[in-house]
Structure 1
Amino acid sequence: MIQVINRALRTLEYVAKHKERSCSLSEIAESLQLHQPTCANILKTLVDMNYLEHLGRKKGYRLGAKCYELTGNLSYNQNLLQAAKGEMEALTKKLNETCILGILRNQKRFIVHTVNSDQDLQVRSRTERDLYETASGRILLAFLPEKERESLINAIGLPKPEIWKEAKTKKQLDLALADIRNDNLVITLSPQHIVGLAVPIIKDGVTIASLSIFLPESRYNVKNAFKTIITTLKESAKRINELLQ
């Protein structure tokens, strides 16, 4: 028996057994009779591989997306997915552009659902992306509670100038995030000429996800197209929000 694999699987089994709540490092280590540094290393690896999710300092761990993908279990963010899927299909059908549903996971933007367009020229996005790189990531960061937002920024640092040149300093970043909250909208243009638009998805007054459209700049520049995209995106988000209440 390979000891480290045994310990990792026992860790997953323990967290799965208590999936109705989060499990702390000390609790897991004590229950599995592991030294805390050993347990912490196992947990970090499982978090990095998305088999566990770290909810934050002193908030513990719960099962991550990869565990649910292995079994095809849709209970992971089930309510969110149930509310969003139909609206996302309708959004892509209306605009014929790819849309994604993103959440904050392990300090990154994580895609939980995608509806692809049938355009000949399509834009693909990695499942995990740096928060600053994407419109959806910036929305999620902007609408975090202040203390959580400050803690996260301290952990990941400021954005690189080539990624977000208007937010090179902490003051600039704070102002940019405030503007996002005021507008309920983010529009980004990448060096690869990809336009991203994102709006918040809200449940019980808390932003739990982002709804995004992204497309080549050449299609976004069509006369008045941006107004149609923004209006349609916001209307879709509003309907998802209503379904979540």
Structure 2
Amino acid sequence: MIQVLHRACDILELLASQIDREFRLGEIARELAISPSTCANIIKTLVGRGYVTKVHPHKSYTLGPMVFQLPHRRNYRLSLVQRARPHLEALATQTGETAVLTIQEQDRFYIIDEVRSDRLPPIPFDPLYIRDVMSKATTRVLLAHLPEDDRDRLLTPEQRQAWNHSCAAISGQAVHRHLDRSSAGFAAPVWQGPAVVASLGLYLPLGRLRQTDEKKLSETVSQAAQAISHM
């Protein structure tokens, strides 16, 4: 039973990894190393519950409407999203870049809201969760504010060794700047009393970074994060 649940989650995550693409049954089974018959039975159940949609006449599958309805049905983090949304919109409008709100839940980091820039090239984000926790400024900020034992559980031994040197510095920054292969991220902690409950981030392509006043951008992100925080 537990294995079936894991496989159902794997199927949903695969469909979400390329949200505009239609996946055939055989592709899903091969990608996840599931037997075609087992895969078909799980997908049939997910289709029946509305979490997966069967696309006719292609006989392929995409995420279903229930996946997108769940966040609207839950009060979980709703007040945080409602409080943050106007500031994400203002931040994206003011800078012309993509603003996101990221949280940690158990061992994963999720983007729970975002306002995307219309400018090209776009900044790609996983619609479910951030897989490489060291790759984004927002997750690095959240990691830096975790207790050491919790942080160590989320990192590989190699990551721990590299990370512990910079953790204290990041947790002391009002805004953390991090570059990956294609984008620059600026992130600030969102506080609820003495605890960091989220990270506000602004992302832009590396090609536009040289044209940007980084100091002004950092101040804008910091001010927005402070406005969202409840101290």
By how many angstroms is 1:178 displaced? Answer: 1.0
| 1:76 alignment partner, SS class | coil
Matched, 1:131 2:113: no
Aligned mates of 2:4, 2:66 — CA distance in 1: 15
By how many angstroms is 1:74 displaced? Answer: 4.6
Cα deviation digits, residues 199-230 of structure 1 (max 9, x gap) = 1111011111110011012212126x111110
Alignment partner, residue 221 of structure 1: 210
By how many angstroms is 1:239 displaced? Answer: 0.3
By how many angstroms is 1:147 displaced? Answer: 2.5
Identity %: 25
Aligned mates of 1:180, 1:67 — CA distance in 2: 38
By how many angstroms is 1:44 displaced? Answer: 5.3
Alignment partner, residue 198 of structure 1: 187
By how many angstroms is 1:73 displaced? Answer: 1.4
Q: How does the TM-score come out when normalised to structure 1?
A: 0.64
How many residues get paired? 176
Q: CA distance change for structure 1 residues 74 and 228 in 2, over 3 Å: closer, same or farther?
A: farther
The answer to whether the 8 Å contact 1:142/1:180 transfers is yes
Gaps of 5+ in 1: 5-37, 51-65, 160-168
Alignment partner, residue 28 of structure 2: none
Task: Say which is worse superposed, 133-142 or 179-188, in terms of deviation.
Answer: 179-188
By how many angstroms is 1:145 displaced? Answer: 1.9
Match of 1:147 among 136, 146, 149: 149
Match of 1:236 among 224, 227, 230: 224
Give, as a single letter, the amino acid of the residue that structure 2 aligns with 1:205. Answer: P
Cα deviation digits, residues 97-155 of structure 1 (max 9, x gap) = 110001113533211001012213321211322211111111111111233223333xx
Aligned mates of 1:68, 1:191 — CA distance in 2: 30
Q: CA distance change for structure 1 residues 146 and 69 in 2, over 3 Å: closer, same or farther?
A: same
Aligned mates of 2:141, 2:8 — CA distance in 1: 26
The answer to whether the 8 Å contact 1:91/1:236 transfers is yes
The answer to whether the 8 Å contact 2:100/2:115 transfers is yes
Alignment partner, residue 92 of structure 1: 92
Alignment partner, residue 34 of structure 2: none
Q: CA distance change for structure 1 residues 68 and 106 in 2, over 3 Å: closer, same or farther?
A: farther
Alignment partner, residue 23 of structure 1: none
Aligned mates of 2:199, 2:66 — CA distance in 1: 22
Gaps of 5+ in 2: 14-64
By how many angstroms is 1:79 displaced? Answer: 1.4
By how many angstroms is 1:43 displaced? Answer: 6.4
Alignment partner, residue 58 of structure 2: none
The answer to whether the 8 Å contact 2:145/2:196 transfers is yes
Aligned mates of 2:80, 2:107 — CA distance in 1: 20
User: CA RMSD for the aligned pairs?
Assistant: 2.5
Q: How does the TM-score come out when normalised to structure 2?
A: 0.67
Alignment partner, residue 75 of structure 2: 75
Cα deviation digits, residues 26-53 of structure 1 (max 9, x gap) = xxxxxxxxxxxx5xx5665677668xxx
Matched, 1:210 2:212: no
Alignment partner, residue 16 of structure 1: none
Matched, 1:178 2:168: yes
